[in-house]
Structure 1
Amino acid sequence: MSVPRRLEASFRQSAILRCPSLTRRPRLPISQSPAASTRQQSSQALRKLHQHAPRKAQQAAAVEIEPDFLIPEPTNPALSFPCLDAVESRSALLSRRSFAGPEPSYTTGNHLNFHSHQPLLLDWGGILPEFDIAYETWGTLNQEKNNAILLHTGLSASSHAHSTEANPKPGWWEKFIGPGKPLDTNRYFVICTNVIGGCYGSTGPSSFDPSNNERYATRFPILTMEDMVRAQFRLLDNLGIDKLYASVGSSMGGMQSLAVGVLFPERVGRIVSISGCARSHPYSIAMRHTQRQVLMMDPNWARGFYYDRIPPHGGMKLAREIATVTYRSGPEWEQRFGRRRADPSRPPALCPDFLIETYLDHAGEKWCLEYDPNSLLYVSKAMDLFDLGQEHRNRINRLRQENSGKLQAFLDGRAIPSDTSDDICNLTLPDRPYEEKEQEAAIDAGEVETNDSHEPPPDLVAGLKALTNTPTLVLGVASDILFPAWQQREIASTLKRTGNKNVTHIELGEEKSLFGHDTFLLDLENVGGAVKTFLG
């Protein structure tokens, strides 16, 4: 809406009265005015400083007004934001490329595929009518089929743990698998899968729903670690493997490895859980929550229906940067980066400036188009829901029993009963906001449960009772901030409390490893050596 001329004149007169230094001068073409000349010089100097053109948004903000008085120059020039320019440029590029098909394709090369025609009932009531499991193998399955090791992945890893003839690209555990290595392929038949919910060949949100041949997107059902394990055991059934020699996993894989022992204790001989936990704790839940939030707030996420459009690469980049902060450690970064800046000769900038910032920026940029954003949401949520305590297991078992009718209806070709609650997926906030309480007051009110820090929770002891007779290696890293070493101590002490006499607990101090949570990917000597010794 335009401003009436009379009001416009009034505004100008008022401005002059408030600022006597604004004296009227003859009108000049803007390009010839002293102010424009100064602005042009400042802009040129700024471009030279950052080697990047100012953002179009900044140029557009400098609206050309026909002034009757001189507009004072700002004290300082505006900063440039090459990091934001890069995100905008990538969006523009992806916008042009989206006409050619989905972006990106998410693949790591050739792999094997198992297709289950039988439906899978999930813990929280969802149903997968059929599903694919992408997997790769190394070594030879012996005649008795008793030398198989199931290797579980971290959150964003594919089945490509080691190079194969079909896919010679190095895998994420390349140095740990092979003849004479910790997972010795002269002795063992190693199987690694991409979890359901993932995007590297297994059925996930980017897959097509067979009922309507449309992408699941956020119509994909909520998953749990146990759902992923049940799908893996469908593959083992297909391969004719009744009992695993061992279940091995790190990070999220360490959680799955324990879940194997709880769900199928009679089908696994040994358990290896590295940098994992028996239940997710608030800190790791909080960090994954923030990753999901920045991703979901990217406008390109579009409630999960971004396929064949511009993907939410900006949100994914930020999510990965947050994750990277938790994957490595302070001591390592102190040695690698310290407080050094990328270019001390330049003035400080709000874009990546310190070496650690440029490292995080690179990590996010490299990964933001390599993994399906919806898979990140679903798989990370499954990690949050992980709890092997007996109370939680009882609740899930009751829920599965209640939902068994859904599965039978599907098998019978009848309409699947829908949830009757209209707000089943809605968050209901309390009437009164959460308030911090003083510790003494909370204790006096009897609202805080006290427990000896050396005594495992009884609920967890009951939940892990199935592992009483299963030899287990639990390995933790002191510099790990995402899965702190006390969580592995909790697993070990809980297993011992169940009566398990074959628990091996190893904790790598900072003198042995400064790599934090990522130690399991990097430390062949300490992590690999412990695994090799335990497997015998």
Structure 2
Amino acid sequence: MDRHARNTLSIGSFQVECGAVLPEVTVAYETWGTLSPERDNVVLVCHALTGDARAARTPDGPGWWEGLIGPGRYIDTNRYFVIASNVLGGCYGTTGPSSTNPATGKPYGSAFPPVTIRDMVRVQARLLDALGIDRVLAVIGGSMGGMQVLEWGVMYPDRVGRLIPMATAAYLSATAIAYNDIGRQAILADPNWRGGDYYPGPGPEKGLAIARMVGMVTYRSVALFDERFGRSVRNGKAIHDPDVLFEVESYLRYQGEKLVRRFDANTYLLLLRAMDTHDIGRGRGGLDAALSRITAPVLFVGIEEDLLYPPAHLRDLAARLRRMGKDARVVEISTPYGHDGFLIELDQIGPHVRAFLAEAHVVAAKTASRQVV
């Protein structure tokens, strides 16, 4: 088993962008591999909407990026020290709506303030400060995780050596916001929503399940649904029977029920809104002004069939960066898994990630050699 540690760490009080102050923030994080004496081999992993800190294999089982991270894998933990944390507002150990509010002794619920992608990144920076890590070799993540990667490049250009944003965007499109709102409205319409103060009850399980069903339609491609399900019927009913259940309906309901068992509805809503408001140009003079702050080489990974984050947007970001004289590259893959391809098609993505990180390692070694001389 790879060297692995699971921890929580208090970073004290934290003021989010809206001005509200959380009196005590705890961050859940996990690490794999060994930190080098020079502390120059750190790869920070940022998770997507319903992810957590368990990016790679642990004694409890596989992680959500199991095929990418580990001993001898594309992000080789025999070489790199990998850190992944649960985002601010999460429900997997980091302070969020289901956490206890010190002021009341009860879960925050509706009292938890809205957070932004920038808030998440600032918390990650505070975590690294507490761990004594001033700079990371690379930051990598997909979807909402990719949003965090881009913010790392803009907010902390001196602290990151490489950026690898996958299946993501510099700002959320109107279409993506629209899909998010359908899921949001399903949760808010559930009678068990109770304004967000449903603890210790089960909460809006039906609404959350429907929100996940909507999400799953956007995460995969039309080709995959047609190939896997077609018009097959699951329960043997005749097509004209009102109780007929198509295979695709069964699949989506299963995915909804599965998320309900492991995720909190308040956190889901909080993170959807963080994605909706994501725009690296906000308050910075626009997109190009924000991109001009990035100094690290960037490897964008786009997916041809991605309904939410078309690769043309990533090509445009790379072109803008190159016009500024910056190192920006784009890798595009094709997969029937659509947006979820960044989690699945690791043999397509992995070699590019490995080469990009190895390149950074060589640059770091040369820099260290020059400093010694």
Per the normalisation by structure 2, the TM-score is 0.92
- In structure 1, the residue matched to 2:370 is none
1:499 is the counterpart of 2:322: no
Pair 1:521–1:349, CA change in 2 (3 A): farther
Ranges in structure 2 where 5+ consecutive residues have no aligned partner: 359-373
Return closer, same or farther for 1:349/1:131 CA change in 2, 3 Å cut-off: farther
Q: Does structure 1 residue 248 correspond to structure 2 residue 248?
A: no
Distance 1:386 1:132 in 2: 23
Residue identity over aligned pairs, in percent, reads: 41
Q: How many Å separate the matches in 1 of 2:35 and 2:202?
A: 44
Distance 1:273 1:351 in 2: 44
Distance in structure 1 (CA, Å) of the matches to 2:244 and 2:112: 36
| Secondary structure, counterpart of 1:300 in structure 2 | coil
Structure 1 position 113 matched with structure 2 position 8? yes
2:292 maps to: 465
1:212 has 2:104 as partner: yes
Query: Where do 1:274-423 residues align within 5 Å?
Result: 274-343=166-235, 345-350=237-242, 353-389=245-281, 392-394=282-284
Residue 124 of structure 1 and its aligned partner are, at CA, apart by: 1.6
Note closer, same or farther for the CA distance 1:515–1:385 as it changes in structure 2 (3 Å cut).
same
On the 8 A contact 1:352/1:358 being kept in 2, the answer is: no
1:134 to 11, 22, 28: 28
Instruction: Report which of the two structures shows the higher radius of gyration computed on alpha carbons.
Output: 1
Question: Which letter does structure 1 place at the counterpart of 2:330?
Answer: H
* Offset, 1:369: 2.5
Is the contact made by 1:461 and 1:498 (CA closer than 8 Å) also made in structure 2?
no
Letter aligned with residue 461 of structure 1 = D
> How many angstroms apart in 2 are the aligned matches of 1:351 and 1:345?
7
Aligned partner letter, 2:310: P
Gaps of 5+ in 1: 1-109, 396-458
2:150 pairs with 258, 263, 266, which one? 258
Question: Residue 299 of structure 1: SS of its match in structure 2?
Answer: coil
Q: Closer, same or farther in 2 for the Cα pair 1:280/1:140, shift >3 Å?
A: same
CA distance in 1, matches of 2:14, 2:247: 47
Contact residue 303 and residue 339 of structure 2 kept, 8 A: yes
The AA in structure 1 aligned to 2:283 is R
User: Quick one: distance in 2 between partners of 1:124 and 1:474?
Assistant: 30
Residue 175 (structure 1) aligned to one of 67, 88, 92: 67
1:526 equivalent in alignment to 2:348: yes
Partner Cα distance (1:327, 1:514) in 2: 10
Higher strand share goes to which structure? Answer: 2
Of 42, 56, 59, the residue aligned with 1:162 is 56
Measured after TM superposition, the shift of residue 352 of structure 1 is 6.4
Query: 1:346-394 CA deviation, whole Å, 9 max, x = no partner?
Result: 34455562211111111111211210000001011000000011xx224
Q: Any idea what SS the aligned residue of 2:44 has?
A: strand
Tell me how far apart the structure 2 counterparts of residues 256 and 149 of structure 1 sit (CA, whole Å): 14
Contact 1:262–1:464 (CA<8 Å) still a contact in 2? yes
Amino acid across the alignment from 2:48? G
**1:518/1:351 CA distance change after superposition, 3 Å:** farther
Match of 1:456 in 2: none
**Moved >3 Å (runs of 4+):** 347-352
Residues 231-278 of structure 1, C-alpha deviation per residue, up to 9 Å, x if partnerless? 011110011110000000011001100100101000000000000100
1:382 and 1:497 map into 2 onto residues whose CA distance is 30
SS at match of 1:111: strand
Letter in 2 for 1:505: V
Answer whether contact 2:237 2:243 (CA < 8 A) is retained: no
Aligned counterparts of 2:244 and 2:79: Cα–Cα separation in 1: 48
Note if 1:479 corresponds to 2:305.
yes
What is the match of residue 314 of structure 2? 488
Q: Deviations over 1:94-117 (max 9, x none)?
A: xxxxxxxxxxxxxxxx93101112
Answer whether contact 1:461 1:497 (CA < 8 A) is retained: no
Deviation for aligned residue 1:334: 1.5
AA aligned to 2:343 is L
Q: CA deviation at 1:497?
A: 2.8
What amino acid sits opposite 1:340 in the alignment?
A: S
Deviations 1:423-448 (A, max 9, x none): xxxxxxxxxxxxxxxxxxxxxxxxxx
Question: How far apart in 2 are the matches of 1:361 and 1:515?
Answer: 18
- Looking at structure 1, the residues matched to 29 and 280 of structure 2 have their Cα atoms a distance apart, in angstroms, of 26
One-letter code aligned to 1:520: F
